[in-house]
Amino acid sequence: MTTHTQTNSDAKTPFPLNMWYLAALSKELTDKPLARTLLNTPIVLFRDAQGHASALEDRCCHRQLPLSMGTLEKEGLRCGYHGLLFNGQGQCLEVPGQKKVPRKAKVMPFTLKEHDDLIWIWFGSEQGSTPVQDPPRYLYHSDEKYVYDGDVYHYQAPFQLIHDNLLDLSHLGYVHLKTIGGDAKTHMHAQMDVEAIGDKVTVKRYMPNSTPPPTYTAAYPFKDKIDRWQEIEFYPSHLRIWTGGIDANSESVTNPNRGGFHMRGLHCITPETEETCHYFWTISTNPTTDIENVKQKVVEQTRYTFNEDKVVIEAQHKSMKHFKGQPMIDIHVDTGANHARRIIKRLCEA
């Protein structure tokens, strides 16, 4: 096996640019502005009176107070220091106490696109650049066969450590014994196929005749042993992970139209800084009876699972900082993660 240290010293930028990143789940924008640092940039997100989502640089152009400390009004966002009012395009509409609004009274806006209950933000290599493609769609949020929910976590760890974790699901048998884990030996010996094309990495793992883990038995009436699948798609802005199980030998586990129990996870990891990030996730599942109760079980078990991952990844990052420069070995389960790291490195150097 190879050894390596995880550095990106030749990169022109610490993060890939000219792409969409997830800025927020739609449900996060309510009646208050939301402060969030994305790619080292402080940003304020808010909705106007018509429900349209906007994003501005999080500073007032008067005395630099974060606009996220202000209040939402019908016309826009009012600064909490001297009351300057800004619309969703960053233009100052009003300066209390004076009739004329200075021509330069504006702050930088960001391009947003909201669909599928997700709010995407464009980060270009140049300020004010126009998006060159639409943001990703995720139609399982509106698919009548699925119900879903999700959340956002703040990580004290770099975004690529979460990529590594999600592209290597062999850890389930060691980290997630109480939820989606199962037998560790089965995970480590699973049939695995990895393919990297362009900016996409696909990892497929199959585990026939497995013992169903606790989350699966809580959500679906399996008869006994199951055939499990784990199918992962990596893109620089997000990962899609489709996992599930069918009764053993009941049908082909590789058939994309297979039945059984499904968990479709959307994982959007957006850098905050070089050493911190935001992890947005949703989980969609396909109950046929007791739908709301099963959904809540799956969501809560998923949340418990991700809490376990967070503890591991943040501890890993802390250890990596302490042992900075020490080599790490690769093993067979690292193939997908190493492909993803090469993609990110290439995009940062472009």
pLDDT at 174 over 90: no
Q: Provide the whole-model pTM.
A: 0.93
Mean pLDDT of the chain: 92
pLDDT value for 256: 94
Q: How would you label 249-276 residue by residue, b for 16+ Cβ within 10 Å and e otherwise? A: eeeebeeeebebbbbbbbbbbbbbeeeb
Pull the structure tokens for residue 285.
């599942």
pLDDT (mean) for 71-91: 97
Q: Quote the CA–CA distance of 281 and 266 in Å, as a whole number.
A: 5
Beta partners for residue 202, in sequence order: 195, 233
Of the candidate ranges 90-94, 132-136, 182-186, the one whose mean pLDDT is the lowest: 182-186
CA 138 to chain centre: 12
State how far the alpha carbon of 315 is from the alpha carbons of 72, 172, 223, in Å. 39, 17, 38
Q: Quote the CA–CA distance of 260 and 132 in Å, as a whole number.
A: 39
333: helix, strand or coil: helix
Closest alpha carbon to 25 in 242, 229, 278: 278
Of the candidate ranges 62-76, 178-192, 259-273, the one whose mean pLDDT is the lowest: 178-192
Closest alpha carbon to 312 in 211, 129, 172: 172
Q: Quote the CA–CA distance of 129 and 113 in Å, as a whole number.
A: 15
Contact 25, 280 (CB under 8 A): yes
pLDDT at 176 over 80: no
More reliable by pLDDT, 180 or 203? 203
More reliable by pLDDT, 124 or 172? 124
pLDDT value for 1: 33
Of the candidate ranges 68-82, 100-114, 121-135, the one whose mean pLDDT is the lowest: 121-135
9-40 pLDDT per residue, tens? 556 789 999 999 999 999 999 999 999 999 99
Q: Ramachandran region of residue 302, left (φ > 0), alpha (ψ -120 to 50) or beta?
A: alpha
251-289 pLDDT per residue, tens? 999 999 999 999 999 999 999 999 999 999 999 999 989
Residues contacting 52, CB < 8 A, separation 6+: 88
pLDDT value for 4: 39
Residues contacting 28, CB < 8 A, separation 6+: 34, 45, 119, 152
What is the band of 136 on the pLDDT scale with cuts at 50, 70, 90?
very high
pLDDT at 7 over 50: no
Q: How would you label 150-170 residue by residue, b for 16+ Cβ within 10 Å and e otherwise? A: bbbbebebbbbbbbbbbbbbb
Closest alpha carbon to 280 in 200, 178, 195, 166: 166
Q: Quote the CA–CA distance of 69 and 57 in Å, as a whole number.
A: 13
pLDDT (mean) for 297-303: 93
219-239 pLDDT per residue, tens? 899 999 999 999 999 999 999
pLDDT value for 6: 45
Residues contacting 112, CB < 8 A, separation 6+: 23, 45, 53, 54, 55, 119, 120, 121, 122
315-336 pLDDT per residue, tens? 999 999 999 989 998 888 889 9
